[in-house]
Amino acid sequence: MEPNPDPDPPPSPPRAETDGAAGDRTDASGDASTADDRSSGDAKSVRAARLELIREQIAAGAYDTPDRLDAALDGLLADLLD
């Protein structure tokens, strides 16, 4: 390997300023923060509705079907055989 003919390395790129905390920092506009909050709220309401439906099915005895049991057992056997 040949020695580097230029003894001075190139300057490092400028570093971004932070707010004093270690690591990276991002700033989001108010619109982006609001959109993120709405998205998070929508996901929570969808999840809550799905959970309520499953609870109702379990209470009615309709959740544990033969197909679900077969799928669970197939997954268990596959995990045990791996």
The answer to whether the beta carbons of residues 25 and 19 sit under 8 Å apart is yes
**The pLDDT value given to residue 70:** 96
Query: Cβ distance 25 to 18 under 8 Å?
Result: yes
Query: Could you give the CA distance from residue 61 to residue 16 in angstroms, rounded to a whole number?
Result: 58
3-57: per-residue pLDDT in tens? Answer: 555 556 566 666 555 555 566 766 666 666 555 556 677 889 999 999 999 999 9
Tell me, what's the pLDDT at 33? Answer: 56
- In a domain? residue 69: yes
Q: How much is the pLDDT for 82?
A: 87
Number of domains the chain contains:
1
57 within a domain of the structure (yes/no): yes
Whole domain around residue 47: which residue ranges?
A: 37-81
